[in-house]
């Protein structure tokens, strides 16, 4: 059975739209509470009632936080606010505080007009597709709440979790080990404005902060991991050793080397995996990535004695495969990096500190370390569409996929899929010949425009000639009932 509301990373949409509004979110909170009460694991863990709610800096966050909390209260749970905090902090706090559930009000890297909700189970891990479906099945049985019921809900605030997170992350490196380091930190006017700066200062770094003046409406606006141009420029002008750009809820990052050039998630993962393999510390010698990651990762990891496992797009699926295989490192090109020995979910700041640890251990600058990955030419593009028609019903697109895949040969691939978090179709072409890759992408774009109504003002090619696809990665099967992406 297909999910109706949940996508690849929770429920997400336009604020005050058909789904992300106070009435529905209160019903979703009630449904989540009802699902917990029928969950055998919840019963086995003693029927815990504490639920932790965090949010990013969006103007709609307080109202939606109250709404979901009111719904949880109606189901017999005790919601507590964490305030404005990154998603990985909520994941950690669920475990350290012994909560039954964690809730984050965020639309991640989207702009402020969107918002959403994602849940963490009692182990600090995102819920599975099946668990989200079970929550959805409870929504239909929830009576509409009284008008303005959510507006009156007030919950106690838990501040210990913030101090605990800052302390734990700062202790990933030796005390004051970043003294003498100039670092540029871009927090996307989002949830890490306080915690990110606090951690780097505790380690002794001299920090130039950008994207740290949230006003409720400027989250991710031309800033953060999706828009690293200002980060790169600031690194160049300040002479910083590196730059760190996080997204709105802090679960992903991209880095900038001392030359002002961006490293995406594939490059970060390769630096971490190859270093660990050379020192015999990569668990099971496995790196888990998604089908979007550049094929150059496989070459680099195999040359160092490891192996790469691939999953559908979405950090939850990376996490699930890591647990199944006993792996401790995995992630996505978008910068979702899971260092499972530290956190069961993606944490952009943790990933950045892990790379800094490699820089310190090797004495090499980031511009040299990034050379571990030699990417195959890869281009990606996202187009906003009016309707996500089944891919199997798009004759021009199907024909273009077959033709481009044949032209690229055995060392090439094509990925066409719909986003599960935005009204977009995402295209990826990769191969050994850059000219064939460009021609293939052009052919796919023309086919999409033939078969689908494409909205004007669609963003152009992302990241330049061979950069990997941007984030917002979503699995083939979409939470809104879409079709699986086509991959060759």
Active site residue ranges: 108
Q: Which residue from 314, 297, 270, 335 is spatially nearest to 470, judged by alpha carbons?
A: 335
Report how far residue 59's alpha carbon sits from residue 318's, in angstroms, rounded to the nearest whole number: 31
SS3 helix, strand, coil % of the chain, rounded to 5? 40, 20, 45
Q: Which helix (H) or strand (E) holds 242?
A: strand 242-246
- Torsion of the alpha carbons at 249, 251, 257 and 261, rounded to the nearest 10: -70
Q: Answer whether 311's CB lies under 8 Å from 290's CB.
A: yes
**Inter-residue long-range contacts of 133-139, CB under 8 Å, 24+ positions, other chains counted:** 133/1, 133/3, 133/6, 134/35, 135/6, 135/28, 135/31, 135/32, 135/35, 136/3, 136/4, 136/5, 136/6, 136/31, 138/30, 138/31, 138/32, 138/34, 138/35, 139/5, 139/27, 139/28, 139/31
List the structure tokens of 13: 């949409």
Q: Mention every residue, 6+ apart, whose C-beta is less than 8 A from residue 36.
A: 42, 75, 77, 100, 101
Report residue 32: phi and psi, to 5°: -65, -40
Pairing of strands 262-263, 253-256: antiparallel
Give me the residues paired with residue 454 across strands: 385
What are 318-323's contacts with CB under 8 Å, separation 24+?
318/288, 318/289, 318/290, 319/125, 319/126, 319/344, 319/345, 320/128, 321/288, 322/288, 323/125
CA distance 153 to 99: 20
| Helix H or strand E segment including 310 | strand 307-311
Q: How far apart are CA 367 and CA 370, in angstroms?
A: 6
Burial class of residue 374 (count of CB atoms within 10 Å of its CB; 0-12, 13-18, 19+)? exposed
Taking residue 457's Cβ as centre, other Cβ atoms within 10 Å add up to: 5
């Amino acid at each position: 059975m297909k999910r109706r509301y949940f996508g690849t990373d929770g429920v997400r949409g336009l604020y005050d739209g058909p789904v992300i509004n106070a009435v529905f979110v209160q019903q979703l909170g009630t449904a989540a509470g009802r699902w917990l009460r029928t969950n055998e694991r919840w019963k086995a863990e003693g029927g815990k009632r504490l639920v932790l709610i965090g949010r990013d800096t969006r103007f709609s966050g307080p109202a939606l936080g109250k709404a979901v909390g009111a719904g949880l209260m109606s189901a017999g749970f005790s919601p507590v606010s964490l305030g404005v905090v990154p998603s990985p902090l909520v994941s950690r706090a669920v475990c350290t505080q012994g909560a039954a559930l964690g809730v984050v009000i965020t639309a991640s890297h989207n702009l402020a007009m969107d918002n959403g909700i994602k849940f963490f189970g009692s182990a600090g891990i995102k819920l599975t597709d099946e668990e989200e479906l079970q929550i959805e099945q409870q929504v239909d049985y929830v009576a509409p709440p009284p008008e303005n019921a959510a507006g009156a809900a007030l919950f106690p605030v838990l501040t210990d979790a913030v101090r605990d997170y800052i302390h734990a992350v700062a202790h990933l490196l030796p005390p004051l080990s970043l003294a003498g380091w100039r670092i540029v930190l871009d927090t996307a006017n989002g949830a890490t404005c306080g915690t990110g700066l606090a951690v780097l200062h505790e380690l002794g770094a001299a920090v130039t902060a950008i994207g740290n003046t949230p006003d409720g409406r400027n989250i991710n606006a031309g800033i953060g991991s999706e828009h690293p141009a200002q980060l790169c420029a600031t690194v160049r002008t300040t002479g910083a050793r590196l730059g760190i750009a996080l997204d709105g809820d802090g679960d992903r990052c991209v880095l900038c080397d001392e030359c002002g050039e961006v490293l995406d998630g594939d490059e970060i993962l390769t630096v971490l995996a190859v270093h660990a393999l050379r020192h015999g510390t990569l668990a099971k010698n496995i790196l888990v990535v998604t089908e979007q990651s550049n094929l150059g990762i496989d070459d680099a990891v195999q040359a160092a004695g490891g192996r790469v496992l691939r999953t559908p797009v979405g950090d939850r699926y990376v996490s699930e495969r890591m647990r199944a295989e006993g792996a401790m490192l995995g992630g996505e090109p978008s910068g979702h990096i899971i260092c499972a020995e530290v956190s069961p979910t993606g944490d952009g700041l943790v990933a950045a500190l892990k790379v800094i640890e490699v820089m310190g251990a090797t004495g090499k600058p980031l511009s040299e370390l990034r050379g571990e990955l030699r990417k195959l030419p890869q281009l990606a593009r996202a187009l906003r569409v009016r309707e996500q028609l089944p891919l199997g019903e798009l004759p021009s697109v199907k024909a273009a996929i077959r033709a481009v895949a044949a032209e690229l040969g055995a060392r090439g691939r094509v990925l066409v899929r719909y986003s599960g978090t935005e009204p977009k179709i995402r295209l990826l072409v990769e191969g050994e010949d850059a000219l064939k890759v460009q021609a293939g992408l052009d052919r796919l774009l023309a086919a999409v425009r033939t078969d689908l109504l494409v909205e004007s003002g669609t963003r152009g090619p992302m990241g330049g000639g061979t950069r990997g696809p941007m984030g917002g990665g979503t699995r083939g099967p979409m939470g809104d009932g879409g079709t699986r992406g086509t991959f060759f």
